[in-house]
């Protein structure tokens, strides 16, 4: 299951980050690491607004497909 299937208000655990090495590195610099809990805040204009390590981050739906929960 990927991050795009999570619902607003739900807290989920990141299991794995997929994609190219560049994509994985980008997501990891934003705080998306295996074992990290993240919360879904909202969905605006096709992007997911999530809280990662206490910071709100917008992630596009195509990028969210690489985040396994």
Structure tokens belonging to residue 45: 């204009």
Please report, for the domain that includes residue 40, its CATH number.
2.30.30.90
Question: In this structure, how many other beta carbons lie within 10 angstroms of the beta carbon of residue 19?
Answer: 15
pLDDT (tens digit per residue) in 29-65: 999 999 999 999 999 988 999 999 999 999 999 999 9
Number of structural domains in the chain: 1
DSSP string, the chain: -BGGGPPTT-EEE--EE-S-HHHHHHHHHTT--TT-EEEEEEEETTEEEEEETTEEEEEEHHHHTTEE-
Domain that holds residue 46: 3-68
Question: In this structure, how many other beta carbons lie within 10 angstroms of the beta carbon of residue 60?
Answer: 12
Q: Name the pTM for this structure.
A: 0.91
pLDDT (tens digit per residue) in 13-26: 999 999 999 999 99
Task: Check residue 40 and give its pLDDT.
Answer: 95
């Amino acid at each position: 299951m990927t991050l795009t299937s999570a619902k607003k208000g739900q807290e989920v655990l990141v299991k794995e980050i997929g994609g190219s090495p560049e994509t994985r590195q980008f997501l990891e610099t934003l705080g998306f690491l295996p074992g990290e809990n993240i919360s879904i805040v909202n969905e605006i204009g096709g992007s997911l607004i999530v809280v990662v390590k206490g910071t709100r981050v917008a992630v596009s739906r195509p990028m969210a497909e690489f985040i396994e929960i």
